[in-house]
Amino acid sequence: MAKVRGKVTFKEHLCKGCELCTTVCPVDIVKMAKDRINTKGYHPATVDEMEKCIACGNCATICPDTVIQVERLRDND
């Protein structure tokens, strides 16, 4: 069975740095970007190891500010 891969995109300007998304990721790849701040003045949430994403959508489900968009990629993508 092909491995499910996902792609998450963050609208970083909407992020308020609440960190709820970082607590629900089953593969623990959602982190706060401590090296930058957004226009609201928060460290935005981000993903560095995107290849580990399984497109479960947990991060987007718990996000109070609809920062996160999740796509599931097929093998030929």
Partner 1 sequence: MAEMVFQRTKGLQDRPFHYCPGCTHGIIHRLVAEALVELDVLDKAIGVAPVGCSVFAYDYFNCDMQEAAHGRAPAVATGIKRVHPDKVVFSYQGDGDLASIGTAEIVHAAMRGEKITTIFVNNAIYGMTGGQMAPTTLVGQKATTSPFGRDKDHAGSPIRISEMLATLDGPAYIERVTVTTPAHVRKAKRAIKKAFQTQIEGKGFTMVEVLSTCPTNWGLTPVEALRWLEENMIPYYPLGVYKAPEEVK
Binding site for partner 1 (CB under 8 A): 6-7, 14, 16-20, 23-24, 42, 55, 57-58, 60-66, 68-74, 77
Q: Per residue, what are the HEC states of 18-63?
A: CCCHHHCCCCCCEEECCCCCCCCCCCCEEECCHHHCCCCCHHHHHC
Shortest Å distance, C-beta 52 to partner 1: 16
At 15, which amino acid appears? C
Shortest Å distance, C-beta 62 to partner 1: 6
Shortest Å distance, C-beta 19 to partner 1: 6
